[in-house]
Structure 1
Amino acid sequence: MIWVTWRQFRTQAAVGTVALGGAAVFLLLLGLRMRADYDANLARCIAQGCAPGVVAGFEGTYATVVMIVDLVLIAVPGLLGAFWGAPLVGGELAAGTHRLAWQQSVSRARWLAVKLLLVGLAAMAVTGLLELLTTWAVNRYDVVRADRFATLAFGARGAVPVAYAAFAFTLGAAAGLLLRRPVAALGATLAVFAAFQFAAPGALRPHYIAPRTTDIRLDAATLSHAEGIVLNGSSLTIGGVALPDAWVVSAGRATGAAGREPDGDALTACLAPGQHARTVECLAEQNLQVTVHYQPSSRYWPFQLIETGLYALLTAALALLCFARIRRTL
């Protein structure tokens, strides 16, 4: 049974090996280039604090390519589930070749188990190797960025990509088994996996562990890095408030000392359209603060393990559905 499964899977395995080799070469060259740039421009000053322009220049040089690499790595499990998982059982059901296998001495459960284990482990191995290569290649960028909880970075590092691969592959196999049409199963796998990838970061991830709360003083440094300043009467909202190497889940309105309502007239006088530096300097003198809810960097691996466990449970549920379907219905 293992030999038969391998012969059916060898074309996909060859394509995957070639793609993995090409990705390895690209990531190796990217990692070497990034390390050389980091050693030449940032290694000496990173501990004491580099000039803002130097750090921003390094991030700007590699931000786009790192984003693309992370997007590709997050998409790989879905593609493996669609092109490896969906036709695994659905293809045989559509062609009718499953009847020959079931007339042999191999039981239906064993036939399905060998397919799921052999090809599923291959999908997880490919994704795991890509994750290791990516983590090594963009390590210097991650050190400078110091934002491991960023949506793309979190989903493309650590243990969760392998869990995504297990879930997507089993999802593809279940879709093929239920729909019995490989093309329809392929589309359904991509759609469901994409829905999970869009929903989980915002709907599930912030609630794994209750966030901590702290007050941040809105000084010039904090305000200069804010993504937006919105004033509505005496209500001042600062977007993009950040803490070093932590995930700010949410931030409230700006308040004065001891939580008092800020002076709306003073805030209005600070707003100078087209003069961001003057606005920041004026607001920094108002002694404002904002309450933020955040996840500290020490919770990174607990979050990784929680999300990995969540996808492992979904994978197990889909596998049980496959076995129940093949025993009772078909």
Structure 2
Amino acid sequence: MSTASLSPFSPSTGLTWTVLRLHRLALWLWAAYVAVTGAMLLWLWGPGSSGWHITGKCVAGVMNACSATGPGAGTYEFLLGLTTSLITIVPALAAAFAGGILFGRELERGTAALAWTQSVSPARWLTTKLALPAAFLVVGTGILVALRRLVASAASGLPSNQWFTNGVYGALGPTAVALPLLGLALGALVAFISKRVIPSICVSLALVGIVTVALGEIRDHLWPPVTVIGDVHEGYRAFAGLLLDEGAVTGSGAHIADPLCVDDKSCLVQHNITGFYREFQPSSHFWPLQLVETGILLALTALVAAAAFALLRRNQRP
């Protein structure tokens, strides 16, 4: 292998070095973001959880049924919520960066077209500009997710560490890594359409928000749920997981809204109530749900990236 092929100025590596140099501030900020968030998670995993204990009975589906008390418990809860938020906002950061700085600014100023005349093909330019940030996103977010799972396993009884608690699910699995990649691709596509920094940032953020909300709406149906039924004497049976639905069961086996008869036998007879049901996603469904959702996100990312390449090729036609 010749020394020329290893040179940072060779066509095969020059673009990589150029992108890294051009966006070195963003790279350092991302490294600091991961380092600070990771340090907080390590504190939560180690000394942050010492000196306090969990009070109350942690019950699935019941918020604030248990809590951490003792020295440092307030700081623990605050940093736990903060680090979870710092992980879950990465997709928005990726979309804003791609739509604004990574692509929008160069397309608005025309420097992208200049780069395409310097022995760099538009396709290779786009590939490099997407691949490098994607690699840093995967590594950085993957580290944070691994640390967040360590924190959750060390105090699994707390609602803020249970995967079915609102906002926590997106910080404990591969969806936290896949969604930023979709945000990156969306930012690129919007930038090619808009060619303006501010509109690209705003639209990219809006699209990430729409995707996040849509995933939350369909998540319950990504894997078959479990249903448990208790008779009129037992009432609602206990469960552990994400509650989807609950109500009463009639003599025909139909599931209806709970008429709230409590112990009123005449009311139960009047409504033909023979039991009560709960439909939920148990803890054993966490990984199937995560993997299915991750597959959806990666498929969407591939489609959006393909659309960006197609738009690039169309814009290059004479």
TM over 0.5: yes
**Structure 2 residue 218 is the aligned partner of structure 1 residue 165:** no
- Whether the aligned pair in 2 keeps the contact of 1:86 and 1:174 (CA below 8 Å) is no
Cα gap change, 1:253 to 1:263, in 2 (>3 Å): closer
Q: Could you tell me which residue of structure 2 aligns to residue 243 of structure 1? A: 239
**Structure 2 residue 159 is the aligned partner of structure 1 residue 149:** no
Cα gap change, 1:26 to 1:296, in 2 (>3 Å): closer
Q: Could you tell me which residue of structure 1 aligns to residue 146 of structure 2? A: 132
Larger CA deviation: 158-167 vs 61-70: 61-70
- Whether the aligned pair in 2 keeps the contact of 1:88 and 1:176 (CA below 8 Å) is no
Cα gap change, 1:142 to 1:128, in 2 (>3 Å): same
Cα gap change, 1:57 to 1:110, in 2 (>3 Å): closer
> Among 187, 191, 198, which residue is 2:206 paired with?
191
Q: Could you tell me which residue of structure 2 aligns to residue 58 of structure 1? A: 68
Q: The residue matched to 1:149 in structure 2 has which SS?
A: coil
Larger CA deviation: 78-87 vs 312-321: 78-87
Q: Could you tell me which residue of structure 2 aligns to residue 326 of structure 1? A: 312
Q: Which runs of 5+ in 1 are unaligned?
A: 43-49, 224-240, 271-286
Q: 1:228-268: per-residue Cα shift (whole Å, max 9, x none)? A: xxxxxxxxxxxxx8612x22211123769x99998959549
Q: The residue matched to 2:163 in structure 1 has which SS?
A: coil
Q: 1:301-323: per-residue Cα shift (whole Å, max 9, x none)? A: 11111000000011001100110
Q: Could you tell me which residue of structure 1 aligns to residue 197 of structure 2? A: 182
Identity of aligned residues (%): 28
Cα gap change, 1:149 to 1:219, in 2 (>3 Å): farther
- Whether the aligned pair in 2 keeps the contact of 1:218 and 1:289 (CA below 8 Å) is yes
Cα gap change, 1:164 to 1:35, in 2 (>3 Å): same
Q: Could you tell me which residue of structure 2 aligns to residue 112 of structure 1? A: 126
Deviation of 1:124 after TM superposition, in Å, equals: 2.3
Aligned residue identity for 1:139: S
Deviation of 1:73 after TM superposition, in Å, equals: 1.4
Q: The residue matched to 1:148 in structure 2 has which SS?
A: coil
Q: 1:4-50: per-residue Cα shift (whole Å, max 9, x none)? A: 11111111001111222222222222222344246xx46xxxxxxx8
Q: 1:73-93: per-residue Cα shift (whole Å, max 9, x none)? A: 111221122124542122111
Aligned residue identity for 2:170: G
Aligned ranges 1:1-330 → 2 under 5 Å:
1-37=15-51, 41=53, 52=57, 56-58=66-68, 63=77, 65-145=79-159, 147-201=162-216, 203-216=217-230, 243-244=239-240, 246-253=241-248, 264=261, 267=264, 289-330=275-316
Aligned residue identity for 1:322: A
Q: The residue matched to 1:163 in structure 2 has which SS?
A: helix
Aligned residue identity for 2:117: Q
Aligned residue identity for 2:311: R
TM-score norm. by structure 1 comes to 0.75
Cα gap change, 1:160 to 1:191, in 2 (>3 Å): same
Aligned residue identity for 2:67: G
- Whether the aligned pair in 2 keeps the contact of 1:34 and 1:138 (CA below 8 Å) is no
Report how many aligned residue pairs link the two structures: 285
- Whether the aligned pair in 2 keeps the contact of 1:120 and 1:170 (CA below 8 Å) is no
Q: Distance in 2 between matches of 1:64 and 1:216?
A: 38
Aligned residue identity for 1:72: L
Deviation of 1:294 after TM superposition, in Å, equals: 1.9
Aligned residue identity for 2:192: L
Q: Distance in 1 between matches of 2:192 and 2:259?
A: 61
Cα gap change, 1:149 to 1:115, in 2 (>3 Å): same
User: What is the aligned-residue RMSD (CA, Å)?
Assistant: 3.5
Aligned residue identity for 2:276: V
- Whether the aligned pair in 1 keeps the contact of 2:45 and 2:150 (CA below 8 Å) is yes
Deviation of 1:326 after TM superposition, in Å, equals: 0.6
Cα gap change, 1:216 to 1:72, in 2 (>3 Å): farther
- Whether the aligned pair in 1 keeps the contact of 2:249 and 2:274 (CA below 8 Å) is yes
